[in-house]
Structure 1
Amino acid sequence: MFNTDIGIDLGTASVLVYIKGKGVVLKEPSVVAIDRDTDKIKAVGEEARLMIGRTPGNIVAVRPLKQGVISDYSVTEQMIRYFIQKAVGKRSYKKPRICVCIPSGATEVETKAVQDAAFQAGAREVFVVEEPLAAAIGAGIEIKKPCGNMIVDIGGGTTDIAVISLGGTVVSTSVKVAGDDFDEAIVRYMRKKHNLLIGERTAEEIKIGIGTCYNKSENQKMEVRGRNLVTGLPKTIEVTSEETEEALRDVTTSIIDAVHRVLEQTPPELAADIAVRGIVLTGGGCLLNGLDELIEAKTGINTMTAEDPMTAVAIGTGQYLEYIDEENSEKLK
């Protein structure tokens, strides 16, 4: 109780907090509402997300993380502090050990910013772990074994792809194309094809409701409301899942190209393991309908989604501290 280990999945779209012995205790959008006049934080998380696009001029809802890394340091630090207090409570406790995940392509400066923010938020010790490694641990993969495992972690801002063996990353890449880009692609498509202006939240609803990236026999439909760009008046139209496949084609192609690049760089022995063991998908972005089938069709390798893809990285980030403790105790023997 007084010696808490905390794992934080500091995502572009949402923050998940894992506490040892309790599991994932908090999942909130990584959005902060700030009053521009006083520079004070008005709301954090879900409360702030509901304000996006609906605030008066002096209040602005911001995402302090862009493409997996900190873009606004002071706001991120306050956000982490808020989430830790909400997850652990404000009781007097020994400062926790905190493990935070970072994209596999993060620079030293970006990594240092994450560590500093966690220390400022009240950590005793801070560890960082690359997202694909955390995702593999959270998905229940035995990472210590000398065999290749391929992880594709599709978050909100980045897609991290890695081949893992013997507890480390052999080949990895991080592309700044992920869940948020799915939403943006839908917004662009609606503007271009239907002259309809829709917001981020509506685009996300389309993606979750009928979004697909692999042609299916059944064509689902959904009513979408937005502003007609010609008349300037509100308008309702019907959108089909077939249209979302067309809208998302460029984005999904970028992810598949990145998977191909990693496979091309993978040593032959590990590539043989991946052909047998398959590709594991994690992250909220992998829940896009048909994505696993599309990757399987394009690579010829069995592709499966982790049991709980949304929380895999958070669970793995928390359990990474146990993994480090095990490694250290083995070294001392």
Structure 2
Amino acid sequence: MPSNDIGIDLGTATVIIYDAQRGLLLKEPSVVAVDTRTGDIITAGSDAQQMLGRTPDRIRAAMPLSDGVISDFDMTTAMISYFIKKVYAGNLIKPRVVICVPSGVTEVESNAVVSAAASAGARKVYLIEEPVAAAIGAGIDISKPEGNFILDIGGGTSDVAVLSLSGIVCKTSVRMAGRKLDEAIVRYVRGKSGLLIGERMAERAKIACGSVFFTPEEDCKIEIKGRNLRTGLPGKVTVTRGELCEALSDPIETIILAVRRILEITPPELAADIHRNGLILTGGGALLHGLDRLLERETHLPVRVADNPTECVAKGTAAAFGYLDQLADGFSRSSTYRH
């Protein structure tokens, strides 16, 4: 019998719905297209993403989440509802839902997520902080009295945390992640070549040739297209991996500083565990070329990328139903909230 318990990674860039029994149910961009005359949702996900920047006045395509939190409540509710109906078509029993949120989320932001999910048809809603979900999804036994160090880089936020005994010992969250890296590439290309490119083009360049740590032997090139700001005409330019590394250096430094901050306040006993266990990278940002080597150089820790890092948080979110009592009781400031 299909499970009615699902985990939702409600990301700034991508929504992933996962079922602990059935696995991945949905992976779609966090985009909604709405009819401006009626307010009705036209579509969401991949179809809506194709409309970004290409819609007439009667249609608005937008991303209702910004920096990991809800920026448009009504559109977020409509998007969650659309996706839940898509994976639970014909099912009369409403699902219980666990949604992961950034570790720095405020109470107001948490309540907005819960209200949106409840309005979208969830029977019961739980929230879990992203580093905890990431650790569970990476296969770590968080109940042990042992320090585990997690860095989750998503689309809107990067979360850093040290976990032990089913709890978060220390943590921080910075709103510097995938989207900000794309924006950094847009600014760099505009400043150096006078070419205005879209964020989707910047994202493709980042995935194909972006890097934060590489050797000349690993260099590559990619052609990117946009609008020449001097002539107003379509144009293109070729950028190298070295140039993209330069473009990404400042935002990546912000993430590295957050990692260092947590290391500085980690209790000595757990620091010894971390020196042995290393740093685990999760989220789409974990796939950025050279990031693991850069972090190894900067922290002097072994660094490994979790298996399937893009779905790691969603997988852990779905698996969190088996940890709800432990998480609610095991945290000095609970990372799971019942509603």
Residue in 2 that maps onto 1:266? 266
> What amino acid is the match of 2:56?
P
Give the Cα separation in 2 of the matches to 1:57 and 1:296.
49
Could you list the runs of 5+ residues in structure 2 that have no partner in the other structure? 329-339
Structure 1 residue runs of 5 or longer lacking an equivalent are: 329-333
2:113 corresponds in structure 1 to 114
Q: Distance in 2 between matches of 1:99 and 1:37?
A: 34
Distance 1:78 1:60 in 2: 14
> In the alignment, which residue of structure 2 is the partner of 1:204?
203
**Residue 32 of structure 1: aligned partner:** 32
Identity of aligned residues (%): 54
1:223-238 matches, within 5 Å, as 223-238=223-238
1:238-260 deviation per Cα after TM superposition (whole angstroms, max 9, x unaligned): 11000000000000000000000
Shifted more, 233-242 versus 140-149: the winner is 233-242
Q: How does 1:110-149 map to 2 (within 5 A)?
A: 110-149=109-148
1:310 is paired with a residue whose SS is helix
Q: How high is the TM-score relative to the length of structure 1?
A: 0.95
Q: Are residues 1:23 and 2:19 paired?
A: no
Aligned residues: 327
Q: Deviations over 1:104-131 (max 9, x none)?
A: 0001111111111111112222111000
8 Å CA contact retained: 2:224, 2:239: yes
For 2:158, give the aligned amino acid.
Answer: T
Matches of 2:15 and 2:39, distance apart in 1: 22
SS of 1:182 mapped into structure 2? helix
The 5 A counterparts of 1:75-224 are: 75-92=75-92, 94-218=93-217, 219-224=219-224
For the residue of structure 2 that corresponds to 1:105, the secondary structure is coil
Offset at 1:20?
2.9
Secondary structure class of the residue paired with 1:273: helix
- In 2, distance between residues paired with 1:46 and 1:299? 38
Which stretches of structure 1, 4 residues or longer, exceed 4 Å deviation after superposition?
A: 325-328
| Cα contact 1:4–1:20 (8 A) shared by 2 | no
* CA distance in 1: counterparts of 2:94 and 2:40, whole angstroms: 26
CA distance in 2, matches of 1:58, 1:285: 35
> What is the CA–CA distance in structure 1 between the aligned matches of 2:244 and 2:232, rounded to whole Å?
24
Partner of 1:177, secondary structure, is coil
- CA spacing shift, 1:3–1:236, aligned 2, 3 Å: closer
Could you give the per-residue CA deviations for residues 41-75 of structure 1, whole angstroms, max 9, x where no partner exists? 12100000111111123322111111111111111
Deviation for aligned residue 1:237: 1.5
Listed as ranges, the matches of 1:271-290 within 5 Å are 271-290=271-290
Secondary structure in 1 matching 2:42: strand
Over 3 Å counting, the alpha-carbon distance change for 1:141 and 1:56 in structure 2 is: same
Aligned partners of 2:165, 2:66: CA distance in 1, in Å? 31
Q: Provide the secondary structure at the position in 2 that maps to 1:147.
A: coil
- Tell me the residue number matched to 1:66: 66
Following the alignment from structure 2 to structure 1, what is the Cα–Cα distance between the partners of residues 224 and 312? 32
SS of 1:42's partner is strand
Partner of 1:13: 13
C-alpha distance 156-33 of structure 1, shift in aligned 2 (>3 A): same
Separation of aligned partners in 2, 1:270 and 1:49: 43
Aligned partner of 1:165: which letter?
A: S
Amino acid paired to 1:227: R
Q: What residue is the counterpart of 2:335 in the other structure?
A: none
Cα deviation 1:140-171 (Å, max 9, x = unaligned): 01100000000000000000000000011010
SS of the residue 1:156 aligns to: coil
Q: Does the 8 Å contact 2:20/2:315 carry over to 1?
A: no
SS in 2 for 1:111: helix
Whole-angstrom CA distance in 2 between matches of 1:182 and 1:246:
11
Distance 1:325 1:260 in 2: 32
CA distance in structure 1 between the aligned counterparts of 2:316 and 2:141, rounded to whole angstroms: 12
Once the two structures are TM-superposed, the CA of residue 2 in structure 1 deviates from its matched residue by 6.3
Instruction: Choose 244-253 or 36-45, whichever is displaced more.
Output: 36-45
Q: Distance in 2 between matches of 1:17 and 1:90?
A: 17
Deviation of 1:317 (Å): 0.4
Assess if the C-alpha contact under 8 Å between 2:136 and 2:319 holds in 1: yes
- The reply on whether 1:53 has 2:53 as its aligned counterpart is yes
CA–CA separation in structure 1 for the residues paired with 2:32 and 2:296: 38
Task: Give the distance between the partners of 2:96 and 2:91, measured in 1 at CA.
Answer: 16
In 1, are the aligned partners of 2:167 and 2:327 still within 8 Å (CA)?
A: no
Distance 1:237 1:97 in 2: 49
Superposition TM-score, scaled by structure 2 size: 0.94
Q: Which residue number corresponds to residue 331 of structure 1?
A: none
Task: Tell me the CA shift for residue 81 of structure 1.
Answer: 1.1
